[in-house]
Amino acid sequence: MLLYTIQRTLLVIPTLIGITIISFVIMHLAPGDPVDLFLGGAAGSDGISTEKRADAERVREELRRQLGLDQPVHIQYLRWISKVVFHAHPLTDYERGARAADRLLASLSESQREELSRYEGEERKRQFLELVPRDEARAISASTFWRAKRLKLVGNYEYAGAGFLLGHIGYRRLTTLDFGRSFKDQQPVIARIAERLPITIEINIISLFIAYLIGIPLGIFQATRQDSTADRALTGVTFGLWSAPSFWVALLLLVFLCNQEFLYLFPASGIQSLDASSEWGFWRLFTDHAHHMVMPVVASSYHSFATISRYMRTSMLENTRLDYVRTARAKGLSEKVVVLLHVLRNSLIPIVTMMAGLLPAIIAGSVFIETVFTIPGMGFLAFQAILARDYPIVMAIFTIGSSLSLLGILVADLLLKVVDPRIDFSKVSA
């Protein structure tokens, strides 16, 4: 099983690269230029003089250069993927000076640092230069850091990049998961996503849990009462839920259950009340948040539990016709034991496999659900980024969403071993 897990994990790498290539090309082939959206129409040429038109075009080309859009698509992709995986970026002269100052301050004794704390501004700098070796003092005083900033006793060097800092080697900074900065506000993409991702994961995990919690018992109930009135009624209901698109159901819930003209049972947007504060206490904040999450979770989970119940019913009916079930009944086992102990376990195999498809579907559906209910999650951020042609954010969300989906597929495969111990991964080719 360990070897199979390693093989499947290694296969994730080329799969993820293929997904990012396709996504990157599609984004750049889509109509619309992020530079024009960024300038708000200032780059247009209608109704302005030739001189102003030339100035606008120069501004447009300079902005394209700053955003890295002046290079061919394949060069842009290679630069992007190299920063995401691993990147060694040379430190600027300012950063070198700041790191040198921190290193020299750390080498001073406690009494020397205490003495420096008594001074401020240029006097502290002068005293500092007298305490360090002459060649070090000469080098740091020539840096742009020394001319541009006051000297702090600790923390002169602060990483302000767009990725995760791994460390430093010489005068190079090692980073990973550097998705760049948003075209819209120049904020680090990874920081924007880190704010939104927990909300999306919360909705998706709860939705998946509820889907299995309702779908499996519902499928068992229908299978044990085949062709009954209840079975036929539930079959019609589940088929209706299965065929209804999530954005349409979300809009219906918004109109009829979050509207004062009909039933105002749940909030229409957000994840907490506008007047929520830390003074409320844990339980009040928790119930308020749960109240806001009801509609998004229902809209995300109804399709999944309808699908699971249909598959569960079919799988249960197929297994009840097999010989081992007739043998169990012939031994005198009760129908409850036959269904729950023998039929159920073998019927769970396709249900566990379904997780590989349900998780990506829920993640993709979060774009519609979060947009309809104005949930500040990753799906709503993706919708806004696509409209703004914010390539870095869109690519980061595609990559993270694809990674979560591939992880879900791997987990679903491994759970098959738990459901059916007869599966031997040593004989399975990844």
Residues with Cβ within 8 Å of 193's Cβ and at least 6 positions away in sequence, in order, are 179, 378, 381, 393, 396, 397, 400
Pull the structure tokens for residue 202.
Answer: 């919360």
Q: What is the model's pLDDT at position 386?
A: 86
Q: What is the model's pLDDT at position 47?
A: 53
Domain ranges of the chain: 90-176, 189-427
For residue 140, give the H/E element and its range: helix 134-141
Q: What is the model's pLDDT at position 43?
A: 47
**162: which DSSP letter?**
S
Instruction: Give pLDDT < 50 ranges for the chain.
Output: 42-43
Q: Whole-angstrom Cα distance, residue 15 to residue 227?
A: 44
Q: What is the model's pLDDT at position 280?
A: 87
How long is the chain?
A: 430
Inter-axis angle of helices 391-419 and 189-224, to 10 degrees?
40
Distances 60 to 57, 87, 149, 183 between C-alpha atoms, Å: 5, 28, 33, 14
Q: What is the model's pLDDT at position 46?
A: 54
Q: What is the model's pLDDT at position 425?
A: 63
Tell the CATH topology of 189-427.
MetI-like fold (1.10.3720)
Q: Whole-angstrom Cα distance, residue 223 to residue 201?
A: 32
Q: Whole-angstrom Cα distance, residue 261 to residue 269?
A: 16
